[in-house]
Amino acid sequence: MGNLCACLSARPAKRRTRPVKPLSNPPAAVASNRWSRVRSSGKDKFDDSALIREQAIAAAILFRQQQQQHNGSIPPFDRSTSLRYPNSSSKRQSLPRSSSSRARSLTDHLIQPHQLVNQDVKIADLETNHFVLVHGGGFGAWCWYKTIALLEEGGFEATAIDLTGSGIDSFDTNGITTLSQYVKPLTDFLEKLDQGQKVILVGHDFGGACISHAMELFAHKISKAVFISAVMLTSGQSTLDLLKQAAASNEIIQQAQIFLYGHGNDHPPTAIELDKSLLRDLLFNQSPAKDVALASVSMRPIPFSPLLEEVSISDTKHGSVRRFYIETLEDHAIPITLQEMMISSCPPERVFRLKGADHSPFFSKPQSLYKLLVEISKIPPAS
């Protein structure tokens, strides 16, 4: 969320003018060097063959995504495109391993059985087993690759959305002027759902504002909404309203912020991005190094205008959707104090906590996040 807070810094922001230009492929040598480095230590080792296999799978799914987007033609390969893993052919009943080739971190403790109260509920008996995953500002569908693999291996359906100008969506971020334009890929997906079909919406970071927008439009198609260290707005609030309290005291955000002026320095900023060298400290302080590397070549600027837009939500539509919040206790971008303030202002049905999770629990605590999502999917309506 740090890239959203950046515009709120009390001190003058760096003014870096960058002309609007189409995305281009980075030099092959740079991309190759980035991914060929294998960091080894006594705490974090992984097998070369597993890494090569993982990269091959990632390349294959990227190629398939690109082909589908171009109606079967073969487009040029872009290192910045989204990354996810394909369906597993085997559906295991036990908890699947993380798709990461690194052994599960000792800090990523699995949730204990006594913490889960709906273990006997069968997937076939659920109102829906379909999760729709919405990324945060600057991220893309690629950030959910571990979550997708775990959910699909567990028998669930998972769809990750690239919002406008994010992931493999080629729209120029500087041209996004409204929240509805930014969220359009999500609302288009929900609009096309069959009559009576429902999904569980999951929003991370600024994705919380995005799913709130969708909940107001398609409440009848949404079974539950899960906010993961996410912006949770009340009617009349903007993302900027919520985050200005945290930004003034966050030195990392102040150092990382880079405003982009796509229409020239004499016009307001059109987008904002983060200094890539500060990503680990701000967003990934508990995440594996290879996931930080993935983010450093995949993150995109976030459009500025949607951050300023006040949402309009109602009790009859947005308020009719069951909401759940997952707190991340080691979060440097949206600190726990801000998360609890949002929860207090707009109480969800239940709140869950992920100990040891940074702002990106899909990287730092993938197994625990998976178990919480499954638990939420099985919570019956209050009697």
pLDDT at residue 33 in the model: 40
The 10 Å Cβ neighbour count of residue 75 is 11
Taking the complete model, does pTM exceed 0.75, yes or no? no
pLDDT digits (tens, 9 = 90+) for 304-338: 999 999 999 999 999 999 999 999 999 999 999 99
Q: In whole numbers, what is the pLDDT of the chain averaged over residues?
A: 79
Instruction: Report phi then psi at 376, rounded to 5.
Output: -65, -40
Q: Which residues neighbour 112 within 8 Å (Cβ) at sequence distance 6 or greater?
A: none
Token couple for 381: 């309506």
Rounded average pLDDT over 337-360: 96
Q: Which long-range contacts (CB under 8 A, 24 or more apart) does 94-99 make?
A: 95/154, 95/367, 95/370, 95/371, 96/149, 96/150, 96/153, 96/154, 96/370, 98/146, 98/149, 98/150, 98/366, 98/367, 99/54, 99/145, 99/146, 99/148, 99/149, 99/150, 99/366
pLDDT at residue 352 in the model: 97
Return d(Cα 142, Cα 78) in angstroms, integer: 13
Buried b (16+ CB within 10 A) or exposed e, 332-349: bbbbeebbeebbeebebe
User: Quick check: 51 pLDDT over 90?
Assistant: no
User: Quick check: 144 pLDDT over 80?
Assistant: yes
% of the chain with per-residue pLDDT over 70: 67
Nearest to 131 by CA among 110, 161, 163, 95: 161
pLDDT at residue 49 in the model: 52
Please list the active-site residues: 205, 331, 359
pLDDT digits (tens, 9 = 90+) for 182-213: 999 999 999 999 999 999 999 999 999 999 99
Q: Which helix (H) or strand (E) holds 202?
A: strand 199-204
pLDDT at residue 234 in the model: 92
